[in-house]
Structure 1
Amino acid sequence: MGDIICCLDESDSTEGDPAAWGKAVALTLLEIAASGGRNFALVHFSSRGRCQTDLFRSGMYSMDDKMKAAETFLGGGTSFETPMWESLRLMREEGFENADIVFISDGECAMPEHFLKELRQEQAVRRFTITGVLLDRCSPGMDFSLRNFCQNIYRTSKLAGEDIVRELVRRRV
């Protein structure tokens, strides 16, 4: 099992319960990575070009670092391209070449076909998976934009946060 890159949607549409669910899943994944001596990156994202990355190198971060990440909320619109570009940068430049991606969002965005093609090419070369966690407890049934690039999708409307994390671990993330 390699490192984990977690992309967390912090757009206005996730405010409230969805944001709390997303943070809970992300921070639980951080704990799982830490217990396995794995690196973890949390890519907070919202509008195009707007993201913040918190790097948690195994054994090299504090409780304050985790609290700072938990308190972040960017607000604004939603762009899936921005966090995916950042994830690829982390794989190329920051030592996350063996990472898989967990993508947490309410699913309200579309990616251009040219970007999806490029992303699929990178996946074929780097052999990483993208697992989606759909924050749909308030609007079950929606998954249209995550289906285009996630190999697996878990829904908060169907599973509790602990069940989602258990499934992520079982499937190798």
Structure 2
Amino acid sequence: LELGRRLARNKKLGELARMVGRFKQDARALKRKTLERGVAEAYDIELGSELGRLIPAELLAMHHPVLKRDFHRRVLEGTVLQYRLRDDEQKGKGPMVVCIDVSSSMQGDKEMWSKAVALTLMDIARRQRRLFRAVMFSSGEVSLKVLDLNRERRYAPDLNKVVEMAEYFPGGGTDFETPIDAAVELLGEKKLKRGDIVIITDGESQVSPEWLARLRERKDELDFSIFAVLVDVGSAETSSLAQFADRITSVKRISDEHARDIFLHVQS
């Protein structure tokens, strides 16, 4: 009941819900396109009726003057021998962590856009059966808020924590080292590899050479990637993010279209 009351009286959550609805449609459409052109490996044989996955013996039966009638029957029954495929998603991916800048300069449309992107990424993580952590940051550990949003068995989101994430906005300056460390901590808990860290910010923050060296060691150990989104500011090439991010997208205008590149990145 308390959650319902908070949802009813919070205009920010209503606007976020509308934005997430649009973003989820785009993300799922992109996922379908990604699967269409994705690369998969054959790792077993199964019964089915997909002609593009037939094993060589069935291809011979399809053209054999005596066996082709039996082949056609088995296609209709779904009992021909075909390769079982395993794409990247089926192989499994590590956790997804989104670091959201909640410093003073992000207040307004940038905050709403970044949180809507984060909640859409949470939906992607749920469908991919991946742990999802949101790291809200501004300057230093005092303002840091770490929320594990889908620790349950079926990767369903914790709505109380979703509301907490949506409402949290401390303001202040910008610090990159603390939130990235909190993101890497989740990946290292059980040596979970192939994770994705997304950081969304409009600010700059210097990082120390010692911190960069430690981060590179952890990346080699855990095999994760860092995708940075630089919102409405400067050039991606001159950003301090370029020192540690594998890829940077510079968003000059807040829109649905600029969110698609992020969704495509984490689903590919």
Q: What TM-score comes out, normalization by structure 2 length?
A: 0.57
Q: What is the distance in 1 between the residues matched to 2:207 and 2:107?
A: 22
Q: Cα 1:28–1:162, aligned 2, differ >3 Å: closer, same or farther?
A: farther
- Secondary structure of the corresponding residue to residue 110 of structure 1: coil
Higher deviation after alignment, 123-132 or 71-80: 71-80
Indicate the residue corresponding to 2:160 in structure 1: 64
Q: Cα 1:77–1:18, aligned 2, differ >3 Å: closer, same or farther?
A: same
Tell me by how many angstroms 1:111 deviates. 0.7
What amino acid maps onto 1:116 in structure 2?
L
1:129 aligns with 2:225: yes
Give % identity.
Answer: 34
- Secondary structure of the corresponding residue to residue 171 of structure 1: helix
Indicate the residue corresponding to 1:114 in structure 2: 210
Q: 77, 88, 93: which one pairs with 2:184?
A: 88
RMSD: 2.2
Larger relative contact order (CA 8 Å, sep ≥ 6): 1
Q: What is the distance in 1 between the residues matched to 2:227 and 2:218?
A: 15
What amino acid maps onto 2:195 in structure 1?
A
Q: What is the distance in 2 between the residues matched to 1:153 and 1:87?
A: 17
More helix by share: 2
Tell me by how many angstroms 1:40 deviates. 0.5
Tell me by how many angstroms 1:168 deviates. 3.0
- Secondary structure of the corresponding residue to residue 242 of structure 2: coil
Q: What is the distance in 2 between the residues matched to 1:10 and 1:112?
A: 22
Give the alignment of 1:1-173 within 5 angstroms.
Answer: 1-50=93-142, 51-57=144-150, 58-93=154-189, 97-136=193-232, 139-141=233-235, 143-157=238-252, 160-164=255-259, 166-172=260-266
Contact 1:11 1:78 in 2 (8 A): yes
Contact 1:10 1:44 in 2 (8 A): yes
Structure 1 stretches of 5 or more lacking a match?
none
Contact 1:3 1:40 in 2 (8 A): yes
What amino acid maps onto 2:167 in structure 1?
E
Q: What is the distance in 1 between the residues matched to 2:184 and 2:129?
A: 21
**1:25-44 CA distances to partner (integer Å, 9 max, x unpaired)?**
11111111122222100000
Contact 1:6 1:103 in 2 (8 A): yes
- Secondary structure of the corresponding residue to residue 132 of structure 1: strand
Q: What is the distance in 2 between the residues matched to 1:39 and 1:125?
A: 19
Q: What is the distance in 1 between the residues matched to 2:123 and 2:117?
A: 10
Q: What is the distance in 2 between the residues matched to 1:157 and 1:140?
A: 9
Q: Cα 1:27–1:34, aligned 2, differ >3 Å: closer, same or farther?
A: same
Tell me by how many angstroms 1:94 deviates. 6.6
Structure 2 stretches of 5 or more lacking a match?
1-92
Q: What is the distance in 1 between the residues matched to 2:192 and 2:148?
A: 10
Q: What is the distance in 2 between the residues matched to 1:34 and 1:76?
A: 31
Tell me by how many angstroms 1:155 deviates. 2.0
Q: What is the distance in 1 between the residues matched to 2:176 and 2:234?
A: 20
Larger Rg belongs to: 2
Q: Cα 1:71–1:162, aligned 2, differ >3 Å: closer, same or farther?
A: farther
